[in-house]
Chains A and B, each alone.
Chain A
Amino acid sequence: MDMEALRIESTHKTPRVILDPENGIFEFSGRSIPEDSVGFYTPIFDWLDQYAKQPLPMTHVRFDLEYFNTSSSKNILEVLKRLEAIYAAGHEVRVTWYYDEDDEDMEETGQDYQALLNLPIELSVKVQS
């Protein structure tokens, strides 16, 4: 795999995104309430479309989001659909959806994605530091 990693640092309104094709470890963390949600996520979709052509046998994806709006929810679903396609093609993909134990809405969003996708999504309570 000669793709370059995609790294986007977090801001107070956009998440930190790390897509590391060398180790197959992807991470989305922080807040996702960008003004232009499609503009923020489009490079991520493009990157994933490239990765899907030659994915690693195992990809581990970690979502650790603080809060996000429904506009971002739609784009996160699009990210997950791309991962679902990789999984459907016979590659292993494991998604871990972290949520604060006091945040029932974040847990429910993880359950929504579980229901909508044919993809292993594990819901995991964040360990308080």
Chain B
Amino acid sequence: MVTAESELLYKPALTYTYPLYRNMLDNSVVFMYHGPITTDLMIDVLNLVEYRLEDAGEQRRISKKLFNIMVESFALGEDNRRAGAVLIVRQLPYLYSVSIGRQVASNSVHEIRSFIDWVNTRTPDQLRDAYHTLLQNKSSSLPAQVGGVPSISILDLARKSHDLLQYGFEYLDDQATFFSLEARIKKLNP
């Protein structure tokens, strides 16, 4: 009997490596990781990306910002070890993009979406004030977490990227939904 697992085992490598390679090229993906996110892994990834940026002669200002955004993006995937998370770095002509994808509870989608929409409609000063409130743990109206995701990390990404956060949800089943959040860094001064 041919099971799905045995079918996967004997599948020629090219049938999945080429589409993946093509997809990465088409979407300007320069780095992609899937699996549990740990601090040790974060260090390895940062070293790898640093090497690539240096090799490409990227400006230090951009490299620093990309690093800071990656560090905080990792924090969003850290507590999702069982299901693992996806981290993707894309390099486009005028911007870098860092996306983190992870599973969240399906019943928390509305809460996460509402919070990101709220963040995306704040001015830089309002974002700073909200960040200060959460940093001091003295929020009466701002939640510390939205759907298991630290809200201060979302605020931090919005402040650092100087751009709207892009997000999406892919419903998996009644329990789990795949959530992705993207922060963009423009190569020109904001």
Are B135 and A104 closer than 8 Å at their CB atoms? no
Q: Which residues of A contact B42 (CB under 8 A)?
A: 13, 33
From residue A31, how far is it (CB to closest CB) to chain B in Å? 8
Q: Which residues of A contact B135 (CB under 8 A)?
A: 70, 73-74, 77, 112, 116
Tally of A-B Cβ pairs under 8 angstroms = 64
Task: Please measure, in the bound complex, the distance between the C-alpha atom of A44 and the C-alpha atom of B160, giving whole angstroms.
Answer: 28
Task: Please measure, in the bound complex, the distance between the C-alpha atom of A69 and the C-alpha atom of B152, giving whole angstroms.
Answer: 10
Asked whether A105 is an interface residue with its Cβ less than 8 Å from the other chain, the reply is yes
Are A33 and B71 closer than 8 Å at their CB atoms? yes
Asked whether B72 is an interface residue with its Cβ less than 8 Å from the other chain, the reply is yes
Give which listed residue, A67, A74, A77, A115, contacts B68 with CB less than 8 A.
A67
Provide the A93-121 mask, 1 if CB < 8 A to any CB of B, else 0: 00000001011111010001001100000
Please classify how large the interface on chain A is, using the bins under 10, 10 to 19, 20 to 34, 35 or more.
Answer: 20 to 34
Q: Which residues of A contact B71 (CB under 8 A)?
A: 33, 67-69
Are A77 and B136 closer than 8 Å at their CB atoms? yes
Asked whether A53 is an interface residue with its Cβ less than 8 Å from the other chain, the reply is no
Are A100 and B75 closer than 8 Å at their CB atoms? no
Are A102 and B60 closer than 8 Å at their CB atoms? yes
From residue B55, how far is it (CB to closest CB) to chain A in Å? 18
Asked whether B131 is an interface residue with its Cβ less than 8 Å from the other chain, the reply is yes
Are A33 and B39 closer than 8 Å at their CB atoms? yes
